[in-house]
């Protein structure tokens, strides 16, 4: 377990880590567009996508990484009709090479939001 380090703990009373460093990879748990007071941020998919990616970016920054280091994301949408609008907002956050991605429609998310995104970044320790 020496090669696994916590980058960010998960919420209190919930059994998961927000982000872990494992070898040269950073694994970011699914993030949703909720602020620290558990309020939904953004009414539309564009705003929720941007805010969720901002949260991922902040978690990566704790390990010294950036969105440019993300190699894979998984996007969960509650309505696939939001796919093209999510794509527009998503594409504005990534520069250069886009990460590999899966997008899955789900019936419901743990919070009353339109999107959840998890990420894997490649960021070798120096």
- The alpha carbon of residue 126 and the mean position of all alpha carbons in its chain are separated, in whole angstroms, by 24
Q: Is residue 99 a contact partner of residue 70, using CB atoms and an 8 Å limit?
A: yes
- Asked if pLDDT for residue 13 goes beyond 90, the answer is no
103 given a catalytic annotation: yes
What strand order describes the sheet that includes 25-31?
Answer: 4-9, 17-22, 25-31, 115-122, 70-77, 100-105
At residue 74 the predicted structure's pLDDT band, cuts being 50, 70 and 90, is very high
Q: What percent of the chain has pLDDT over 70?
A: 98
At residue 1 the predicted structure's pLDDT band, cuts being 50, 70 and 90, is very low
Mean pLDDT on 51-63:
96
Q: How many angstroms separate the CA atoms of 73 and 103, rounded?
A: 8
The one catalytic residue among 20, 40, 71, 103: 103
Query: What is the reported pLDDT for 94?
Result: 93
pTM of this structure: 0.93
pLDDT digits (tens, 9 = 90+) for 14-51: 788 889 999 999 999 999 999 999 999 999 999 999 99
- The CATH code of domain 4-122 reads 3.30.1330.40
Q: Name the residue ranges covered by the structural domains of the chain.
A: 4-122
């Amino acid at each position: 377990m020496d090669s696994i380090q916590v980058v960010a703990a998960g919420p209190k009373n919930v059994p998961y880590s927000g982000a872990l460093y494992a070898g040269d990879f950073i694994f970011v748990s699914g993030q949703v567009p909720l602020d620290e007071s558990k309020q939904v941020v953004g009414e539309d998919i564009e705003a929720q996508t941007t805010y969720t990616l901002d949260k991922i970016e902040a978690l990566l920054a704790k390990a010294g990484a950036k969105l440019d280091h993300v190699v894979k994301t998984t996007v969960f949408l509650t309505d696939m009709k939001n796919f093209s609008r999510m794509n527009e907002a998503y594409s504005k956050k990534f520069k250069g090479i886009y990460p590999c991605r899966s997008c899955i429609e789900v019936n419901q998310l743990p919070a009353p939001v339109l999107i959840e995104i998890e990420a894997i970044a490649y960021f070798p320790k120096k």
